[in-house]
Amino acid sequence: MMIRWALVLAVALAPYVASAATKPTPVAAEDKVHAQLRLALERAEAELAAAPSAIPVGTLKPSAVDPRVPLLRQRLDAMGVALPESAVPAVAVPAIAQADAAPAEPVPVVVTEPELIGPVAPATLVYDEALTQRVKLLQSRWGLRDDGVVGRRTLRALNFTPADEAASLRQTLARWQPPPARGKSITVNVPTAEIIAFENGVEVLRSRAVVGSPLTQTPLIQSNMIAVKYNPDWTVPPGLTKKYKAQMAAGHYDEMRKHNVVVKTPEGQTFDPAQVPPDMVGTMGWKFWQPPGDDNALGLLKFELDNDQAIYLHDTNNRKLFATDNRAVSNGCIRVENYLGLAAWVLGTDIPAVEAAIATGTTHFARVPSRIPVRMTYYLAYPDTTGGIRYGEDVYTLAEGS
């Protein structure tokens, strides 16, 4: 009887089984960042034959008269860096005559040589306002200080060839690991000095960062964010401890006192550096320590990570660094410009709640609801927020080993 019913059921379901077998297997959604990088590589490879003329080195400032200005204009044209019409500086127009004045006779158009600035400089060599605005737009796209001054890093951007682009894109594609498809995650990208936060694989927040210098590099590790520390204190790291000990040995205490750095014992006692022999620091748990406050090196927030290298994210008392071109200057940890937004996101709250917790002035922790993976990466090329590609600098000279 059971065999008979099994046969009946198989015959009844046969059309549905056949139909299901012909349906395509679901395909996972394509990695958007990987697709952008691959498309950019295809464009760069198609342009490899083009060898743009490099702009000679040397700082170029707005309003300057310089023979490189025409080449600068050509490079911006080739890179597609153009201002919207509404942003183009207006040209001064002579005042309109009084309404009761007789209409002016039409003035014939006369083709003349380029206007001269002074006795020798043609107007085509003037680094004018319109060109300055275009350079600022390029600087903004590259994550540089948008001051219009063509210095070393802006020249690098201007002289970046399709071959350079292709090399950076290949390096990134070779190293690329997509963010987790589920939950929250954070990527710290060293070459572009920025932090990207993802939720279910989709970017939700981006912030400028300060990363480790070439001498004190940010290690390319993966950790988990486990807590946010409000109004943190700071234990001075080994490199700076060595510097402070040398200052103590020479009888110089001004820098430590300026930043309210003291010597702290394991029992919690604190001493002015002048009261302690230099050799005591670093032994038996004695350390240089800075209490919480406006001048604290960690700023107002610290993002705790679970690694054994004492690497973490934090605010800073020197926020001017975020506006500089070279942001690879830290001792290895990562400073976050949008620390309030990041804290609100990782804790699942809002910025006013974060600010209220800071305003208490007390040092305390807030646990992250669920551990958030944080990966330190080294991508020389990464999509920006406008759909273009930002090319970072090989600050640790790791490109050859990619």
Token pair recorded at residue 351: 């910025």
Report the chain's terminal Cα–Cα distance, integer Å.
67
What is the arrangement of strands in the sheet containing 287-290, beginning at the earlier edge strand? 234-235, 287-290, 262-264, 270-271
Helix/strand/coil for 17: helix
How much is the pLDDT for 96?
37
Question: Is the entire prediction scored with pTM above 0.85?
Answer: no
Amino acid occupying residue 105: E
Q: Among candidates 391, 293, 303, 289, which has minimal Cα distance to 347? A: 303
Q: What is the pLDDT along the chain (402 residues), one digit of tens a residue?
A: 444 444 444 444 444 444 333 343 343 456 899 999 999 999 899 888 766 778 999 999 999 999 999 999 999 988 888 887 666 555 444 443 334 444 445 444 433 344 444 455 678 899 999 999 999 999 988 889 999 999 999 999 999 999 999 999 999 999 999 999 999 999 999 999 999 999 999 999 999 999 999 999 999 999 999 999 999 999 998 878 999 999 999 999 999 999 999 999 999 999 999 999 999 998 889 999 999 988 899 999 999 999 999 999 999 999 999 999 899 999 899 999 999 999 999 999 999 999 999 999 999 999 999 999 999 999 999 999 888 899 999 999 998 654
Is residue 204 a contact partner of residue 323, using CB atoms and an 8 Å limit?
no
How much is the pLDDT for 177?
94
Q: Among candidates 400, 401, 402, 395, which has minimal Cα distance to 189? A: 395
How many of the other CB atoms lie within 10 Å of CB of 131?
20
CA distances from 210 to 120, 137, 321, 373, 395 (A): 45, 22, 7, 19, 12
For the chain, state the CA radius of gyration: 30
Helix intervals (H) in 28-68: 32-46
What phi and psi, each to the nearest 5 degrees, are found at residue 224?
-125, 135
Query: Is 266 exposed, middle or buried (CB count within 10 Å of its CB: 0-12, 13-18, 19+)?
Result: exposed
Q: Among candidates 296, 295, 297, 276, which has minimal Cα distance to 287? A: 276
Helix intervals (H) in 55-214: 69-78, 129-141, 152-158, 162-175
How many of the other CB atoms lie within 10 Å of CB of 217?
19
Residue with the two structure tokens 């198609």: 46
d(CA 120, CA 189): 48
How much is the pLDDT for 72?
93
